[in-house]
Amino acid sequence: MNPVYSKVIFGIGIILSVSAIISIYVTSIAITNQDFKPSTSPNTSSSSQTSSAQTSSTSNTNETNSQIVTIDIPQGAGNQLASLDNKYYSPNTANVTMGNTITWVNKDIAPHTATSGKDGSDPSSGKIFDTGEIQPGSSKFITIDHKGEIPYYCTIHPWMVGSSLNVS
């Protein structure tokens, strides 16, 4: 075999090996970011008409005598075709006492929201609560100060509907 061809084939082998290692590294970083557990300090805050939403890294707050309910946004929730049996929030229905804190944790790779209302055409959309965008691997929380059955959805992915928060 010609020594030039041997060197070319060897070079191609090295390039393919390095590409495979880079691909494995990038995949492991993507998987790690999807399994990210939020940190412990609030970063941002925004408020809606009747409740506040803050970036939070944990479901532990400094409130006393209150229950913290966690609702996960599972991986794949932003993909309408992979409907997850229409369970875009888990649990899909949550029972909460007024004054309790609800934390939404985004385990998906896309940003999402949790916004009160049936959909974007609902005139009361976002008037009870709106978390704003929850980035992948992040969480936001609100304190519920409104009684009743509250439907909610994602403003970015309108097919993502949570059955309701049942607030007593």
Give yes or no: residues 49 and 30 share one domain.
Answer: no
pLDDT band at 160 (very low <50, low <70, confident <90, very high): confident
**Domain range spanning residue 94?**
45-167
Residues 70 and 11 in one domain: no
| 27 shares a domain with 71 | no
CB distance 139 to 68 below 8 Å: no
Question: Would you say residue 60 lies in a domain?
Answer: yes
- The Cα–Cα gap between 101 and 135 comes to 19
User: Among the listed ranges 49-53, 124-128, 161-165, which one has the minimum average pLDDT value?
Assistant: 49-53
Q: Are residues 2 and 57 both part of a single domain? A: no
Which residues, 6+ apart, have CB-to-CB distance to 52 below 8 Å? 45, 46, 142, 143
In this structure, the answer to whether residues 73 and 19 fall within a common structural domain is: no
Kindly report the number of other CB atoms within 10 A of residue 57's CB atom.
19
Same structural domain, 14 and 86? no
pTM of the model as a whole: 0.60
Pair 67, 135 in one domain: yes
pLDDT tens digits, residue range 31-43?
A: 555 444 443 333 3
| pLDDT (tens digit per residue) in 62-96 | 333 467 899 999 988 888 776 556 678 888 888 88
Residues 23 and 93 in one domain: no
